[in-house]
Amino acid sequence: MGALEIIVKNQGLSDYLPIWRAMQNFTKSRDENSTDELWIVEHNPVYTLGRNGKQEHILNETKIPIVKVDRGGQVTYHGPGQLVIYLLLDLQRRHLGVRQLVTLIENTIINLLAEYNLEAKSDKKAPGVYIDGKKIAALGLRVSKGKTTHGLSLNINMNLAPFKNINPCGYENLEVIQCKDLGVEDNIQVIGDKLAKLLVKQLCFLRLPKSQKVRRESRSESQ
């Protein structure tokens, strides 16, 4: 397997903590020969608060757990029906900077939504992807010694009500939207596969000979 190839794993529906721990363990144990991975996940309901996140952005206490994590950014919500893709990459090996990676992820989501005739945009002042000023995708990354953990979330067909209990990503009165309400009929599995393929193309195929292939692994349980 080539050094710049990517393994795509479908982790299914999982609690947040086991996946987070698995990301940390993967990154701690990897070396210069380790293959990069993308993990496609759905999470059971959880709020995550970035390492510099402010508690004031959590507006109401609920039964949904709040997990303080090591990514950047403020508070966000994950739940069933939301596509999450974690990017476990060696940026140094790919000659990518953090800003380049953020732009690549945002543009890839924008291109995916364009396939559904949705005009989405990024915002230099607020990472993520927006349609008419409403947030449809969020980004949160951690980079340590050139290795990335965490990634992106894209709202597909979920219960959006829990977002009302927070200032999403630290922004007051920010409206959150999802693909289903904008006429997208494809389910989360189809959209997840499409987005993963587009990310791999941007991260890998543009730099490698066309003969290189992506190895795929699927599993229904978390690591």
What is the per-residue DSSP string for 48-103?
EE-TT--GGGB-S--SS-EEE-SSSSSEEEE-TTEEEEEEE-BHHHHT--HHHHHH
One-letter amino acid at 130 equals Y
Neighbouring-strand partners of residue 217: 9
Which among 219, 218, 223, 202 has a CA at the least distance from the CA of 4? 202
Task: Tokens 């959150």: give the residue.
Answer: 176
Sheet of 147-155, strand order: 121-122, 129-131, 134-144, 147-155, 82-88, 36-43, 6-14, 215-218
To the query of whether residue 169 is one of the catalytic residues in this protein, the response is yes
CA–centroid distance for 128 within its chain: 10
DSSP 8-class letter at 132: T
Beta-strand relationship, 36-43 and 6-14: parallel
Please pick, among 169, 179, 184, 196, the residue that the annotation labels catalytic: 169
Tokens of 91: 């940026």
Catalytic residues: 169
